[in-house]
Structure formats: structure tokens, C-alpha cells
């Protein structure tokens, strides 16, 4: 592969993650619109996402390999835990604490993928963590401790999913998320009857399944063919930054000075890192 093609594919991978993050950022608001058991909500949206992915893949290659099964399991638990966290704590807390994922990706990527940890990775993680803390500093509520713990666990699981997809960059990455959605739906079956399927909830579940989960994870899985796991997870900082923007637009909630400063720090950190890598290569 020529240097020009490598750069082109790198930009393609970055674009995929950016679009996926934009779609993910709608999750907090949409989940709050649905009245019912969080596991049932997670499973119902995963069923729709499964169908979307099946249409896209057409003939899935279920290899049954260890990375695929472990990745699918981690994915299923990720999407379930994220919905649970959103119901037990604030959407801002859930997304912020899930964004501990880059820290876990660095560690898992080092041990499992043998990806070198660079100084700029460490600097980026520290800067992003600082920015995210400032962004939601007034929203952290110790009273939501269980939800917060679930959100952190969701971050670890997202890191495991990311590393697994990266391990399958030349194989069945999208199929892993397809299988993960099926796992999530099967687990949720006993809880589906605890959802209030009114028109608002049905619309929210459809939007979650098609866009926030289905199309987004297709793009995210494809991106990991072209960029590293730590790079992908850092770019997803867009998701937690946009979540309060949607809240402001639809609920009129003013983010305040600290979130604005934190958002600037995160965006500069992620953009600067990618510019540095492009110029270095």
C-alpha cells in the first residue's frame, strides 16, 4: 500500500469514528424518553440494530473465534450497562465515566495488541480526562454511586470491545457487533415486557436501534481497519461533548463556564494529536 493510500485510509477511518460518535451522542436523550426496564430497552434497540447490521452484511461470517466471541460478549454487556447507567445516574455522568475507556484501551492494547504506548498518547489521555472532568464537574453526584460504577464498568467493556474489533481488522469485525446485538437481545427477553411501548418509546427505540447503535457501530468497526484502537477511542470524545449540547437545544439547559473550558481542552487535545501523527508520518 502506497503512502498516499495509507493517509487516505487513515482519514477515512477518522471520518467513520466522527460520524459514529455523532450518532452515539443522541443515546442519552433518547434513552431518557423511554419508560421501562433498562435491560429491556437495551435489548429492544439491539434487536433493531441486529437487523440493520444483517441487512448491511447480508452473509455474515460467524467464525466463532476467541476474539469474536469475547468481543461480542463485551459489546453486549457494554450496550446493556450503558442503558442501566443512564437510568441510574445522569446521562452526563454515564457518558463521562464510560469515557474512562481510553485508559483501559491503552492497557489492553499494550498487552493484547502489542501496540506501543507513545508519550503523546499519555498526554492526550491526561488532557482529555481533565477536559471531561471540567465539562461535567457540577454533575457528579455521589448519590448515584451504583450508576456511576456501572458506567465505569461500561467503559472497561467498551475498551475490550474496541481492542477485540482491532484484533479482527482484517476479518469479521462488523460480524462481532452483529453477534453482540443478538446476545444483548437474548439476555433482555425476560425484561421486554417491562417496557411501556407507547408511540414516544417506540420511536425512540427505532432511532436508537437504526442510527445510535446499528449504523454507528458498523462505521466504528470499519474504522478500526485503518486506525489504532487508542486513536479511535480518543476521537470518540466527540460523543460526551455533544450530549449536553442536545440537552441545551431541547431542554434549554445552560452548560456553564467549566464545561465550555473542558470542551475546548478535549477538542484541542484530540485534534492536536491527530495533526501531530499526520505530520510525523
| Residues 155-186 pLDDT 10s | 899 999 988 888 877 677 889 999 999 999 99
Q: Where are the beta strands (DSSP E) in the chain?
A: none
Residue 269 lies in a domain: yes
As a residue count, the chain comes to 281
Residue 66 lies in a domain: yes
Residue 4 lies in a domain: no
Residue 5 lies in a domain: no
Range of the domain at 271: 19-280
| Domains: count for the chain | 1
CB 154 within 8 A of CB 104: no
Residue 13 lies in a domain: no
Residue 10 lies in a domain: no
Q: 136 — phi, psi (to 5°)?
A: -125, 20
Cα 49 to Cα 77, 235, 255, distances in angstroms: 15, 23, 31
Residue 14 lies in a domain: no
Residue 69 lies in a domain: yes
Q: What is the Cα–Cα distance from 181 to 184, expressed in whole angstroms?
A: 5
pLDDT (tens, 9 = 90+) of the chain, 281 residues, equals: 566 778 888 889 999 999 999 999 998 888 888 999 999 999 999 999 999 999 998 888 888 888 899 999 999 999 999 999 988 887 777 877 787 787 788 778 788 777 788 888 888 888 888 877 776 666 555 656 788 789 889 989 999 998 888 887 767 788 999 999 999 999 999 999 999 999 999 999 999 999 999 999 899 888 888 888 778 877 887 887 787 778 677 766 565 677 678 777 877 887 787 778 767 76
- pLDDT, tens digit, 9 for 90 and up, residues 24-61: 999 888 888 899 999 999 999 999 999 999 999 888 88
Amino acid at each position: 500500500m502506497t503512502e498516499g493510500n495509507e493517509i487516505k485510509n487513515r482519514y477515512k477511518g477518522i471520518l467513520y469514528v466522527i460520524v459514529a460518535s455523532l450518532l452515539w451522542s443522541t443515546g442519552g436523550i433518547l434513552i431518557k424518553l423511554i419508560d421501562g426496564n433498562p435491560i429491556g430497552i437495551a435489548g429492544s434497540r439491539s434487536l433493531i440494530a441486529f437487523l440493520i447490521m444483517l441487512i448491511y452484511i447480508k452473509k455474515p461470517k460467524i467464525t466463532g473465534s476467541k476474539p469474536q466471541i469475547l468481543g461480542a460478549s463485551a459489546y453486549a454487556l457494554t450496550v446493556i450497562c450503558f442503558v442501566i447507567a443512564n437510568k441510574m445516574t445522569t446521562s452526563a455522568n454515564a457518558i463521562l465515566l464510560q469515557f474512562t475507556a481510553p485508559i483501559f484501551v491503552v492497557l489492553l492494547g499494550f498487552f493484547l495488541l502489542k501496540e506501543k504506548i507513545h508519550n503523546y498518547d499519555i498526554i492526550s489521555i491526561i488532557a482529555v480526562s481533565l477536559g471531561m472532568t471540567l465539562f461535567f464537574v457540577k454533575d457528579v453526584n455521589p448519590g448515584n454511586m451504583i450508576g456511576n460504577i456501572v458506567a465505569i464498568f461500561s467503559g472497561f467493556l467498551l475498551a475490550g470491545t474496541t481492542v477485540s474489533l482491532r484484533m479482527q481488522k482484517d476479518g469479521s469485525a462488523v460480524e462481532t457487533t452483529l453477534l453482540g446485538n443478538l446476545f444483548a437481545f437474548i439476555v433482555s427477553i425476560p425484561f421486554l415486557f417491562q417496557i411501556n411501548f407507547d408511540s414516544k418509546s417506540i420511536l425512540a427505540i427505532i432511532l436508537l436501534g437504526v442510527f445510535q447503535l446499528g449504523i454507528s457501530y458498523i462505521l466504528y468497526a470499519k474504522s478500526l481497519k485503518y486506525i489504532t484502537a487508542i486513536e479511535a477511542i480518543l476521537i470518540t470524545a466527540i460523543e460526551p461533548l455533544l450530549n449536553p449540547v442536545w440537552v441545551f437545544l431541547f431542554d434549554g439547559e445552560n452548560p456553564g463556564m467549566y464545561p465550555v473550558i473542558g470542551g475546548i481542552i478535549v477538542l484541542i487535545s484530540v485534534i492536536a494529536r491527530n495533526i501531530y501523527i499526520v505530520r510525523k508520518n
